[in-house]
Amino acid sequence: MSITHEGYFLIADVTGYTRYLSESELEHAQDTLTALLELLVENTQPPLIISRLAGDAVISYGLLENFFFGQTFIEIIEDTYVSFRKTLERLVLNNTCRCNACANISSLDLKFFMGFH
What are the chain's domains?
Answer: 7-116 (3.30.70.1230)
Does 90 have pLDDT greater than 90? yes
Rounded CA separation 100/29 (Å): 9
Question: What's the pLDDT score for residue 32?
Answer: 92
Write down the pTM of the prediction.
Answer: 0.86
Question: What's the pLDDT score for residue 39?
Answer: 96
The 3-state secondary structure of the chain reads CCCCCCEEEEEEEEECHHHHHHCCCHHHHHHHHHHHHHHHHHHCCCCCEEEEEECCEEEEEEEHHHCCCCHHHHHHHHHHHHHHHHHHHHHHHCCCCCCHHHHCHHHCEEEEEEEEC
Rounded CA separation 21/114 (Å): 25
